[in-house]
Amino acid sequence: MSQLRHIDQEDLALYALQLLSADEAAQVAEHLKTCSECSAEVAALQGDMVAYALSAEMLAPPVAAKQRLFQQIAREKKVVSMAAPAAFERGETESGQTLPEVSHEATQASIGRSQELWDDARLDDRSPQGLEVIPPSVLSRTLPWLGWPVAAGLAIAAVSLYQQRAQLQSSVISESTRIAALTEDAARGEALIDVLTDRGAMRVTLNETAAKEPVKPKPQGRATYVASKGTLVFLASNLAPLEPQKTYELWLIPAEAGLSPIPAGTFQPDSRGNASVVMPTLPKGIEAKAFGVTIEEEGGSKTPTAPIVLAGA
Amino acid sequence: MYRNTGTLNIPPFSDEEDSALLSRVSEGDEQAMASLFDRYSKVVYSVALRVLRDPASAEDVLQEIFMQIWRNPVSFTASRGSLGGWLAVVSRNRSIDALRRRKPTEAVEDVVLASPCNLGEEAARNIMIERARVAIYKLPAEQRKTLEMAFFDGLTHSEIAEMTGDPLGTVKTRIRSALTTLRKVFQS
């Protein structure tokens, strides 16, 4: 990894993936400071990483995650506004973040109002005729202290208003999160109805590959699959109970030669042997040659383990 | 360092909006923060969950990354490439750090993407996801497996070579080849 030569392309990929040792990574980083060509390749590789990252099954975080985040955000702001008045004046927090303008303005406004009230108090120092005139020495001792309680009261009121605003914002965000979750559920339900009612859907009945006990009802599965949408509904019945730490796993066998079986969800039968897999995450546009079910370790497998207990094409 | 070469052939039509939202976040606008969360939390959480395989840990990574945006939105400036793509990579890297129980090995500023892809809009993101999945399924099995071990399991090339019994050089070549194959699919 010389400074004079370019870094090996394969090492750049390992660098982008953060798989090099600390020393090797430091050498590459040093080289990148002066080599635009290698830097561009690392940027391109990190772009490739985005494409690969998207292969992860997309799942929305729990609704509580958003609430937790905004509680933390509100808490940080509260801590900063109460504990660091000097930083608050500058519009900064301990961590360097800029505080909301409204807070700063609220403080300034509060100070301004305090000043106005203080000025008013000074104007009220004028004694109306007919009233007892308080000796100047008493006024000069008392009035300078009056402004501070007033300013403190206004500051508390401003903080209270700010907290109310934060709470209102939190509840608005919480409600919008709930609506987003409901919308997603509705979309999922609509897609489910689509796949069940689609006349072009592929419907496959899966039967036990080797019958063992003719007396017992045979395990059976029915897969309904729309390749263009990547949607699949699988219903099974009469399934044998599983040993502990085992699970059934459904597989989509692609029609295109060379493609490996695609895991289409794990499932456990209920006490009557019934089970279902509804709308597992599958890539769109993969035509299926067949479907199969295997028994795998709990959590599922990336490749099917023989024997195939149910199969259908 | 940033080269806007367009690895992923998707127009960057939400970059401006991302910049505007980040700007509002820097002014303490919680609604802008909520918009960014709605836009990208799914990608960040899903990538973290895929690496860590634990919802609670994935949520911690999600929380950490979005609090970092809140505290220092300037570091996430959209000029470093697509914000969504950037967050996906940062999420993966932070998750690998968590998996290896090590401190973050990079500053977010170190991640620069040459991919003005738009992940902020559901429709564009879904198109990319489908293209990515099909492209990955079409990779040779050994390349796909090696890249998965490196990217999602955070295994080093030496660890992968040890586990699979493949020569070290072969593992390195497979990782790079798999990534560049993906690049070609998106450029085509």
Give A36 to chain B, closest Cα distance, Å. 6
Least confident of A129-143, A274-288, B77-91, B100-114: A129-143
User: CB atoms < 10 A from the CB of B2, how many?
Assistant: 13
Candidates B42, B136, B183; nearest CB to A44: B183
Determine the average pLDDT of the residues in B21-32. 89
- For residue A148, the model assigns a pLDDT of 81
Q: Which residues from B are below 8 Å from A39, CB to CB?
A: 1, 3, 112
B37/B109 same-domain check = yes
Give B17 to chain A, closest Cα distance, Å. 20
B54: Cβ–Cβ under 8 A, 6 or more apart, which residues?
none
Residue by residue, pLDDT tens for chain A (313 residues) are 444 578 898 999 999 998 888 889 889 989 988 898 998 888 888 888 988 888 888 889 998 999 999 988 988 763 444 333 333 333 333 344 333 333 444 334 333 433 343 333 333 333 344 444 455 566 666 666 778 888 888 888 888 888 888 778 777 877 777 787 788 778 777 777 777 756 567 767 677 776 555 566 789 999 999 998 888 989 988 899 998 889 999 999 999 888 889 999 999 888 878 888 888 888 888 899 999 999 998 888 888 998 999 999 8
B112/B144 same-domain check = no
- Measured CA angle at B80 (ends B77, B84), to 5 deg: 75
Q: Which residues from B are below 8 Å from A12, CB to CB?
A: 176
User: Residue A56 and residue B29: Cβ atoms within 8 Å?
Assistant: no
Q: B166: domain CATH number?
A: 1.10.10.10
| Two tokens, residue A109 | 């406004």
Least confident of A13-17, B128-132, B176-180: B128-132
User: Residue A46 and residue B89: Cβ atoms within 8 Å?
Assistant: yes
For residue A307, whether the previous peptide bond is cis, meaning omega lies within 30 degrees of 0, is yes
B2/B85 same-domain check = yes
Give the count of domains, chain B: 2
How many Cα atoms occupy the beta-carbon half-sphere of B85 within 13 Å?
A: 34
Least confident of A95-99, B59-63, B77-81, B127-131: A95-99
User: Residue A46 and residue B114: Cβ atoms within 8 Å?
Assistant: yes
Q: B112: domain CATH number?
A: 1.10.1740.10
Tell which of B92, B120, B148 closes a domain. B120
Whether A26 has its CB under 8 Å from any CB of chain B: the answer is no
The DSSP code sequence of B83-121 is HHHHHHHHHHHHHHHHHTT---SS-GGG---S-----SS
Q: Which residues from A are below 8 Å from B38, CB to CB?
A: 176, 180
- B1 pLDDT exceeds 50? no
A141: Cβ–Cβ under 8 A, 6 or more apart, which residues?
none
Higher pLDDT, A69 or B129: A69
Q: For residue B60, give the chain A residue with the closest CA.
A: A65
User: Residue A40 and residue B111: Cβ atoms within 8 Å?
Assistant: no
B96/B65 same-domain check = yes
User: Residue B93 and residue A286: Cβ atoms within 8 Å?
Assistant: no
Mutation site for A-interface testing, chosen from B7, B94, B183 by largest number of A Cβ within 10 Å: B7
Tell which of B94, B120, B146 closes a domain. B120
The DSSP code sequence of A120-140 is HHHHTTSPPTTSPPPPHHHHH
Tokens 């500051």 appear where?
A: A155
B68/B156 same-domain check = no
User: Residue B1 and residue A169: Cβ atoms within 8 Å?
Assistant: no
Determine the average pLDDT of the residues in B9-31. 72
Architecture of the A202-312 domain: Sandwich (2.60)
| Burial class of A175 by CB neighbour count within 10 A (0 to 12, 13 to 18, 19+) | exposed
Give B183 to chain A, closest Cα distance, Å. 6
- The Cα B113–Cα B131 span in angstroms is 19
User: Residue B135 and residue A51: Cβ atoms within 8 Å?
Assistant: yes
- For residue A78, the model assigns a pLDDT of 39
- B54 pLDDT exceeds 50? yes
- The Cα B186–Cα B188 span in angstroms is 5
- For residue A163, the model assigns a pLDDT of 81
Contacting A residues, span 75-104, partner chain B, CB-CB under 8 Å: 76-77, 93, 95-103
- The Cα A54–Cα A70 span in angstroms is 26
- The Cα A45–Cα B37 span in angstroms is 26
- The Cα A137–Cα B72 span in angstroms is 53
A165: Cβ–Cβ under 8 A, 6 or more apart, which residues?
A102
- The Cα B134–Cα B175 span in angstroms is 18
User: Residue A59 and residue B96: Cβ atoms within 8 Å?
Assistant: no
- The Cα B81–Cα B84 span in angstroms is 9
B111/B149 same-domain check = no
How many Cα atoms occupy the beta-carbon half-sphere of A298 within 13 Å?
A: 5
**Three-state SS at A225:** strand
Contacting A residues, span 209-268, partner chain B, CB-CB under 8 Å: 230, 254, 259-260, 262
Range of the domain at B157: 138-188
B87/B168 same-domain check = no
B125 is a domain residue: no
Query: Count of CB contacts below 8 A, A vs B?
Result: 232
Nearest to A226 by CA among A201, A261, A251: A201
- B134 pLDDT exceeds 70? yes
Tokens 């220092």 appear where?
A: B72
Query: Please, which pLDDT band fits residue B102 given cuts at 50, 70 and 90?
Result: low
Q: What is the DSSP letter of A62?
A: P
| Burial class of A235 by CB neighbour count within 10 A (0 to 12, 13 to 18, 19+) | middle
- B117 pLDDT exceeds 70? no
Q: For residue A46, give the chain B residue with the closest CA.
A: B113
pTM of the model: 0.54
B52/B116 same-domain check = yes
B116/B142 same-domain check = no
Residues of chain A with CATH 2.60.40: 202-312
C-alpha to C-alpha distances, A174 to A168, A169, A177, A188, B187, nearest whole angstrom: 10, 8, 5, 21, 40
B43/B110 same-domain check = yes
- For residue B20, the model assigns a pLDDT of 87
β pairing state of A262-267 and A308-312: unpaired
